[in-house]
Amino acid sequence: MSRSATSTILYVDLDGTLVHSDTLWDSIALLLKRKPWTLFFLPFWLLKGRAYFKACVRRLVSPDVTLFPYREELVDWIKQEHTDGRRVILATAAHGKIAARVARHLGCCDAVLASDETVNLKGKEKLEAIRRHSGGSAFSYAGDSKCDMPIWDAAETVVLAGSGTRFRERFQAEGKLEKVFENKTGKWRVLTRAVRPHQWVKNTLVFLPLLVAHEWQNVVVLRDTLVLFAAFSCMASSVYLLNDLLDLEHDRAHREKRFRGFAAGVLSIPLGIVVGALFFLVGSLATLLLIPQAAPWLLFYWMLTFTYSFYLKQQALVDVFTLSLLYSIRAVAGAVFLTEGLSEWMIAFLIFFFLSLALVKRFSELRSLDKEKAEKIHGRGYIAEDIAPVGIFGVASAFTSVLVVGLYITNEAGKRLYGKPEFLWLLSLAMLFWLCRTWLLAWRGRIHQDPVIWALRDKFSWGLGAVCAILLLLAAK
């Protein structure tokens, strides 16, 4: 492309082009996070038109434009073009105030064309605005979607970004193609990660009652427990997707979570809503039709997790107690297929054990604040000074969980169920060693993720887990 062609005014779209995401959907997610009751007003605002709808959302929330997932290659190219003397205009259907803040943040836009309360600047409306602004002069346009086609047809040269690259051959044949910026990440692979199938391992807790009650040879109980595991996995994935949608700004401010599919703009918010709803429906129907006796526990789990995503996760200590309860609910739900259910001893052990692991996670996050020179964890109720008490609470919970096992061994309930309970003492010692090692590594800053997921990748934990399984079998004989 000659320099004469690239010297035309460059009009650049925002949503899907300059940023990977859609700023309106980002704003809606932020609105539902901060003011969930406004969900009921959204349809009525939309009935008055998209321009009015955007203005209403914009009045209630103001997303941080510095955290938007910008298409860095395109931004760098635009800045270079601007430095070389080319006029760059941000032309977007986003609300004017958001567009103005983006332009100020980038520092390479000479003017802004955007929507207001009466005009939704999209498609033909945007083309008319560009023609008025350019005075009928030749222009270039950078966009990403089919609705940009009227503008591309009228432009002298076109810049394609994201999904707009599917029109490459057409504009190349017309000699109008100036630049192409492709998406570099496969959407379906990222969606698979967003569903987090690796987290389903936590749902194996539903098999715990079956094992400790020595019912693993009961085919009916095993079948129902497998269905419960699948249902919990579906419900968990639906909440993981919801959590990612509600936590966009917090994730984008995090040094690692900003690469997640929705935070990075690789996955669209509507896609997340649809997939999350499908997982919820599959999990609900499987439970109601096949194992209705477990439905109350599954519903309680989903509602508590939903509340956790909206509010509880932001409250110090309430969050870790909730996580401990969510782990315990899985095991309690798995016990509905047994005659005697789950013993109070097991419930007490699970609460203390998983409270300790939840505190490991928060402790590790607080530990990383030193490296980031930050004062608090984004989206959580903890500050840097909380690291000492969080560590103390976690270690105390770890020792208490093992103490519960010791008390159980000496109780008649333990002696009645296990033929050789002395092996349980070795089991409790192995558990105590694992918990102490986990906390030692956390204190050294060696654990940077969910401790359950860390344990699945830790060879030593696998080996010690195998030893514990053997000791449990020996105790049962």
Q: In this structure, what CATH number is given to the domain that contains residue 287? A: 1.10.600
Contact criterion met (CB below 8 Å) for 264 and 69: yes
Residues 126 and 244 in one domain: no
- Mean pLDDT for all residues in the chain: 90
Lowest mean pLDDT among 64-78, 166-180, 201-215, 425-439: 201-215
The answer to whether residue 135 scores a pLDDT higher than 60 is: yes
Q: What's phi and psi for 19, nearest 5 deg?
A: -120, 150
Among 135, 154, 181, the domain boundary falls at 181
Q: Which residue would you say has higher pLDDT here, 339 or 427?
A: 427
Q: What does R_g of the chain's alpha carbons equal in angstroms? A: 28
The answer to whether residue 414 scores a pLDDT higher than 70 is: no
User: For 274-321, how does the pLDDT look when each residue is reduced to its tens digit (9 = 90+)?
Assistant: 999 999 999 999 999 999 999 999 999 999 998 998 888 889 999 999
Q: Which of 62, 67, 123, 71 is nearest to 96 (CA)?
A: 62
CATH number at residue 49: 3.40.50.1000
Residues 393 and 429 in one domain: yes
Q: Which of 169, 150, 179, 251 is nearest to 6 (CA)?
A: 179
The answer to whether residue 454 scores a pLDDT higher than 70 is: yes
User: For 170-228, how does the pLDDT look when each residue is reduced to its tens digit (9 = 90+)?
Assistant: 999 999 999 999 987 778 889 999 999 988 999 999 998 888 777 778 889 999 999 99
Which domain range does residue 109 map to? 3-181
Residues 380 and 333 in one domain: yes
Other beta carbons within 10 angstroms of residue 88's beta carbon come to 20
Residues 165 and 196 in one domain: no
Instruction: Say what the pLDDT of residue 384 is.
Output: 85
The answer to whether residue 458 scores a pLDDT higher than 80 is: yes
Q: How confident is the model at residue 372 (pLDDT cuts 50, 70, 90)?
A: low
Residues 50 and 176 in one domain: yes
Contacts 24+ apart (CB under 8 A), 345-350: 345/404, 345/407, 345/408, 345/411, 345/413, 345/414, 346/208, 346/209, 346/212, 348/404, 349/401, 349/404, 349/405, 349/408, 350/205, 350/324
Residues 223 and 291 in one domain: yes
Please tell me the distance from the alpha carbon of residue 266 to that of residue 270, in angstroms, as a whole number: 12
Residues 159 and 219 in one domain: no
Among 181, 212, 239, the domain boundary falls at 181
User: For 217-273, how does the pLDDT look when each residue is reduced to its tens digit (9 = 90+)?
Assistant: 888 999 999 999 999 999 999 999 998 998 898 899 888 888 999 999 999 999 999
Instruction: Say what the pLDDT of residue 463 is.
Output: 94
The total number of structural domains in the chain stands at: 2
Residues 424 and 322 in one domain: yes
Among 181, 203, 225, the domain boundary falls at 181
User: For 399-413, how does the pLDDT look when each residue is reduced to its tens digit (9 = 90+)?
Assistant: 999 999 888 888 776
Instruction: Say what the pLDDT of residue 472 is.
Output: 83
